[in-house]
């Protein structure tokens, strides 16, 4: 039995988990650093406990402090969310050793899938197709360089160097020709050591023009492992996903069956329990290759929930309590798209932005969902990831879902800090996105010199401010001057969020 869940996370995912706990009739505990005092997630829990310390290492990554809070406040389960400690096998083991339920897979499964080289070897043994490449066991830099140079002749160019403990694009280098290989190995190794404390790097063939397609899996403690279909996550910038959807536009029933079976085989190979995601690269010929397994709930899980009707976080709670999953025969219904709203300047190499959320007005209407941990009046700081929200839509078909997303982005207004809303809106009009002909290089290919809007950010912010004032005054339309176009009449918010002609 589980009665009280401590959420070892913050922000949007903490809100998501805490609401699921409330709906499940469970007590909940939020933990927060001092700069998160008063945040939305702290108000959704039964009780919120402050963490001592200033840095992330002293607060959200402080295993001893989190376990002490769990023990002193009667938590009998811990949900790690994503990021932070969610894929730390040592934390999962410490939770279990303390007699507390761990809402996630076993420490062994986390460890095996967290080490990319071990994961590759495990998948090969299980019969799951992997990207052509070679694992390099040596940690000595000179020996590693020698081994990778030798392996590169067998793997072929272009190739990809990847950190064994990597994630989020860290410790990764694309190498087009042999003359750049040695320096790329050193750079990948330095970055891997700084990010993960592990300098091991291996090599894979770089598959160009491929789609990033992942399969959601769910496994309970009663021996049942299923998949819930796929998510297409090809549109990425700096190896970070931007635009996700389900189902994949090029998916067939046969391909879904084969990829789903491979994902279930991958989960069973490590005795997986809970919700997890098996990521693949899908090439134009229909071949697919194992990329990695994420042993946690994914940022983009809502699109799967929207098309299957399954509450994945609620299932995590059931499974951790020893109950069988509640999923029966599943059917993918309609189409769902998610975009990630970031506080960042898309026109300046997607650099993070800070500032107050002076106005934060999400869209509403049928088929629209917003997962967020912020609200109007909050301050965006450099302390944490700059993602503000996930905007998710559902519609009966993909064209209708795209049109609904366009409308939702047109109506989404954020003032006080720079966001990527205009970039996301333009992305929805891109011909490759509209046709479903996306791949992992789309953003680099369409905007090789970086994305630039057709207007200045300053003039747009000024126009939006005028629109906000005009709306407050009860006006319906407002005259604005745009420096790169003629004077024009625009309706508040909706038209201003669109690209000017």
If you search the block for the tokens 């400690």, which residue do you land on?
A: 85
CA dist 413 → 350, 354, 391 (Å): 19, 16, 13
Rounded-to-integer distance, Cα 421 and Cα 326, Å:
37
Is 296 catalytic? The answer is yes
Helix (H, G, I), strand (E, B) or coil at 500: coil
Vertex 274: Cα angle to 273 and 276 (nearest 5): 105
Spatial CB neighbours of 18, under 8 Å, sequence gap ≥ 6: 7, 28, 30, 41, 44, 45
If you search the block for the tokens 């796929």, which residue do you land on?
A: 230
If you search the block for the tokens 């190499």, which residue do you land on?
A: 349
Q: Which of 296, 404, 422, 425 is catalytic?
A: 296
Distance of CA 460 to the CA centre of its chain: 29
- CA torsion sign, 419 to 422 to 423 to 428? positive
Contact by Cβ (8 Å): 224, 268: no
Contact by Cβ (8 Å): 477, 492: yes
DSSP string over 230-271 = EEEEEEEETTEEEEEEES-TT--HHHHHHHHHHHHHHHHHTT
Rounded-to-integer distance, Cα 159 and Cα 441, Å:
15
Question: In the structure encoding, which two tokens stand for residue 364, read together?
Answer: 């509403």
Vertex 385: Cα angle to 384 and 389 (nearest 5): 120
Query: Long-range contacts made by residues 467-470, C-beta under 8 angstroms, separation at least 24?
Result: 467/492, 467/493, 467/496, 468/359, 468/413, 468/415, 468/492, 468/493
Rounded-to-integer distance, Cα 80 and Cα 380, Å:
23
Rounded-to-integer distance, Cα 321 and Cα 418, Å:
42
Closest Cα to residue 413, out of 445, 460, 481, 451? 460
The catalytic residue positions are 296
């Amino acid at each position: 039995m589980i009665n009280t869940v401590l959420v070892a996370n913050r922000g949007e995912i903490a809100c998501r988990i805490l609401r699921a706990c409330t709906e499940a009739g469970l007590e909940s505990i939020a933990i927060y650093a001092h700069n998160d005092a008063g945040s939305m997630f702290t108000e959704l829990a039964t009780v919120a406990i402050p963490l001592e310390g200033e840095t992330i290492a002293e607060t959200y990554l402080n295993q001893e402090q989190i376990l002490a809070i769990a023990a002193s406040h009667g938590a009998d389960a811990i949900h790690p969310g994503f990021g932070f400690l969610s894929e730390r096998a040592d934390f999962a083991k410490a939770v279990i050793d303390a007699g507390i339920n761990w809402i996630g897979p076993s420490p062994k499964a986390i460890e095996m899938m967290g080490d990319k080289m071990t994961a590759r070897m495990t998948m090969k043994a299980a019969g799951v197709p992997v990207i052509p490449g070679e694992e390099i066991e040596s940690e000595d830099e000179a020996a590693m360089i020698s081994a990778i140079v030798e392996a590169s002749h067998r793997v072929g160019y272009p190739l990809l160097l990847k950190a064994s403990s990597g994630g989020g694009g860290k410790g990764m280098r694309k190498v087009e020709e042999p003359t750049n290989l040695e320096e790329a190995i050193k750079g990948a190794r330095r970055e891997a050591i700084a990010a993960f404390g592990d300098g091991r790097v291996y090599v894979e063939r770089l598959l160009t023009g491929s789609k990033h397609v992942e399969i959601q899996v769910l496994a309970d403690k009663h021996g049942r492992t299923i998949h819930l279909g796929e998510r297409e996550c090809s549109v990425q910038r700096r190896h970070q996903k931007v635009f996700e959807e389900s189902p994949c536009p090029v998916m067939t029933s046969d391909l879904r069956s084969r990829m789903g079976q491979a994902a279930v085989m991958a989960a069973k190979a490590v005795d997986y329990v809970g919700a997890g995601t098996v990521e693949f690269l899908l090439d134009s010929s229909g071949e697919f290759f194992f990329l990695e397994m994420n042993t946690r709930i994914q940022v983009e899980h809502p699109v799967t929930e929207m098309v299957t009707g399954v509450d994945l976080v609620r299932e995590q709670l059931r499974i951790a309590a020893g109950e069988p999953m509640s999923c029966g025969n599943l059917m993918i219904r309609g189409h769902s798209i998610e975009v990630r709203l970031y506080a960042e300047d898309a026109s300046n190499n997607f650099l993070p932005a800070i500032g107050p959320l002076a106005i934060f007005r999400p869209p509403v209407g049928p088929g629209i969902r917003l997962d967020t941990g912020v609200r109007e009046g909050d301050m965006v700081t450099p302390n944490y990831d700059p993602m503000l929200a996930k905007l998710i839509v559902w519609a009966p078909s993909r064209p209708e879902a795209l049109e609904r997303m366009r409308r939702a982005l047109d109506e989404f207004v954020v003032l006080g800090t720079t966001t990527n809303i205009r970039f996301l809106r333009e992305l929805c009009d891109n011909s490759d996105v509209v046709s479903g002909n996306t791949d992992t290089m789309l953003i680099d290919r369409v905007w090789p010199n970086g994305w630039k809007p057709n207007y200045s950010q300053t003039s747009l912010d000024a126009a939006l401010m005028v629109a906000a004032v005009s709306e407050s005054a009860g006006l319906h339309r407002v005259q604005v001057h745009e420096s790169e176009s003629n004077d024009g009449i625009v309706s508040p918010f909706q038209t201003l969020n669109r690209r000017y002609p």
